[in-house]
Amino acid sequence: MKKPSDISEPLNTAKQVDPANAGAISRNQLTPEAATSPQGHDVPGHDHAPVLPAPKRTADADACCSVEQPAKKAPTANDHGDHSHDDAGTNPYLWPGVSLALLLGGLALDYADVAFFTGPVRLLWYGLAFVLVGWKVIRSAVYSIPSGNIFNEFLLMSLATLGAFAIGEYPEGVAVMLFYTAGELFQDAAVNRAKRSIRALLEIQATEVTVVRGGQSLILDPQQVQLGDVIEVKPGEKVALDGTLQIAAASFNTAALTGESAPQTKQAGETVLAGMINLERLVQIAVTATYQDTKLAKILAMVQDAVGRKAKTQLFITRFAKVYTPIVVALATLVIVLPYFIVDDYVFRTWLYRSLIFLVISCPCALVVSIPLGYFGGIGAASKAGILFKGSNFLDVMREIDTVVMDKTGTLTQGVFAVQQVQPALGTETTQLLRLVGALETKSTHPIAKAVVTHVGSAAAGVAVDQVEEIAGHGLHGLVDGHEVLAGNAKLLTRFNVPYPAEVEQVADSIVVAAVDGQYAGYLTVADAPKEDAAQAVQELKADGITKLVMLSGDKDSITQRVAKELGIDEAHGGLLPEDKARYVQQYLKEGRKLAFVGDGVNDAPVVALADVGIAMGGLGSDATIETADVVIQTDHPSKIATARRIARATHSVVWQNIWLAFGVKAVVLALGAGGLATMWEAVFADVGVALLAILNAVRIQRMNFTKR
């Protein structure tokens, strides 16, 4: 099995809107910040199977259980995280399996009182079983000494097991180390499971870019594209790299960058940014930024950093363990020494054995492993649901929020045009209006025209359309099924001297006004429709204890109020600039509210940074907002906000269950051990057994159902 330093597994990525496209990315594609970001799941001294090669760790970062990794290729305490991964690449379960077989065989020989199984033979038998699983732990304890990180779990395990051998308790010494190793293997599996769920979330970008070189089109990985190369982007594809447009004009969906649904038309020489979606025709773009600076690299860096920010509970346990471990060693020494002056029939071997039991019981593995793993399990469960937490601390804060402030466009609405209302004129049938207007609009590539065609569907199929004239800034004029039809804005009807009702001027949404044979025929409104789960999101948040729901938008206030009423949001404000949104958020924070802000556009980034928890819509959200946010909803579903709160509460509950389990069992067995009522076997359960139970409990988070209750 590969060592962490050898892992460079490909991550699938996607360029097109269709996530079916897949490819690979390696670590050299990351930004410098990503390349040096912390790895692993932030369990002190337990950095197993990182998503990407693990960088240098520090003793402080790894708390009580690991040490700074030397630059040379020598074994370190961090190697302990890989102690089950044999250097030769063998199965990590091989040597523990052999050790278990030797232990069980030895116990059987002891029970049968076989004559030859005594003295050196018995020592060698159990010694081999011990070395197979214990040599890396002892090595880690030795290599931790130069860094000054002496009092760690490796030292406790080494002292306890070697001490057991010193007094002839060979089976117990092997059992302690074997079960400890089994716990590590189990933890490896738990962490890798969580990491796989995070990795799967990242398989949404493509690796294929069409590059034009020497007059030929080449299909390359984005990381192979150089500055100045010209790439081709087909209709429907997401632009993978920043660059300048090389054709006369093209339209792009810029919702990922601007937060608004209206498409933008770019002219030759203007900048096209990664994340924009090409809407109409094949375009060519001269690359001005490398792939390392795209959204993909930043999301990867975010995932790598996800457990770097510790929750308050983790920080406490880390500080506690750094003080706790040397105290345990001192107390274990006193268990040997003090009875000499107090007990009349003092027997050194008896009190040494009790001291070794004390050491095993006191090992803080259950806490320093299971608590961060609990938070990591929460992060993994969230990732499976399409939610990325940038740090375990935000799981705690998410549980505490009482106010949710949301942007409108791209957050609660789809960020795309759709027909909202059809209002035929008196004497005109709705079906006839839609058939004529829909047929004429098929001759246009404008996004509003496409929205009308989509709404009309097959009703316009087969209708004859002739002599179509597209009047820039006004609309279309043509013959449809023998009728002269106008479809566009009010200025188009004015141009052709067609009178229309005054109510048309009062419509707030984008409007398509129609006339047939010189007579006003009605209008259609086209607007940004709410997302399918937007109303559900509002209902779930209210039911989940959120006392204040607010919508802030840069769109017209009339549209904002309409959407708020439709979704059931009590307070909404429209026509806002970014600084206006920030002013509202600051006001709520001054009122003492615990606030989450949800947004997607660049204009939301400052407000996301102000909030206690900043939440970004990551599917089409802007890079700036995603970078600033604390939580990213990759699926763009606002209902995931309530899901994130449920995951946060479940994680908090599991973490505290583990804390009380660890402290409770250890306290009982410590008392029994001090009185001579507990053996090394009970000590093994109090340490490794409790750690395994805590890890099982932490893994349980990823199996929970966090859908709507």
* Residue of 613, 447, 427, 604 lying closest to 519 (CA atoms): 427
* Residue of 464, 225, 259, 365 lying closest to 686 (CA atoms): 365
DSSP secondary structure of 107-161: HHHHHHT-TTSSHHHHHHHHHHHHHHHHHHHHHHHHHTTTTT--SSHHHHHHHHH
- Rounded to the nearest 5 degrees, what angle is found at the Cα of 479, between the Cα atoms of 473 and 483? 115
Residue written as token pair 């975010």: 302
Strands 271-272 and 216-220: unpaired
What is the crossing angle of helices 170-201 and 153-166, to 10°? Answer: 160
Residue 412 CA to residue 530 CA, distance in Å, equals: 6
Instruction: List beta partners, residue 422.
Output: 524
CA torsion sign for 146, 147, 152, 153 is negative
Residue 150 CA to residue 154 CA, distance in Å, equals: 9
Q: What number of other Cβ atoms are within 10 A of residue 689's Cβ?
A: 18
Q: What per-residue string of b and e applies to 408-444 under the rule 16 or more CB within 10 Å gives b? A: bbbbbbbbbbbbbebbbbeebeeebbbbbbbbbbbbb
518, two tokens: 């010189």
For residues 437 and 512, is the Cβ–Cβ distance under 8 A? Answer: yes
Residue written as token pair 């204009």: 603
For residues 413 and 261, is the Cβ–Cβ distance under 8 A? Answer: yes
For 567, residues 6+ apart whose C-beta sits below 8 A from its C-beta are 412, 530, 534, 535, 538, 551
87 is catalytic: no
Counts of helices then strands in the chain (DSSP H, E): 23, 22
Give Cα separations from 252 to 271, 275, 416, 442 (angstroms). 11, 10, 12, 19
* Residue of 662, 677, 666 lying closest to 354 (CA atoms): 677
Q: What per-residue string of b and e applies to 129-142 under the rule 16 or more CB within 10 Å gives b? A: bbebbbebbbbbbe
324, two tokens: 């706790």
Burial class (CB in 10 A: 0-12, 13-18, 19+), 203: middle
Residue 66 CA to residue 61 CA, distance in Å, equals: 9
Residue 377 CA to residue 381 CA, distance in Å, equals: 6
Identify residue 163 by its one-letter amino acid code: G
For residues 683 and 669, is the Cβ–Cβ distance under 8 A? Answer: yes
Query: Which candidate in 42, 79, 242, 407 is catalytic?
Result: 407
Helix, strand, coil percentages for the chain (3-state, nearest 5): 50, 15, 35
For 324, residues 6+ apart whose C-beta sits below 8 A from its C-beta are 64, 362, 364
Q: What stretch of H or E contains 524?
A: strand 519-530
- What positions carry a catalytic annotation? 407
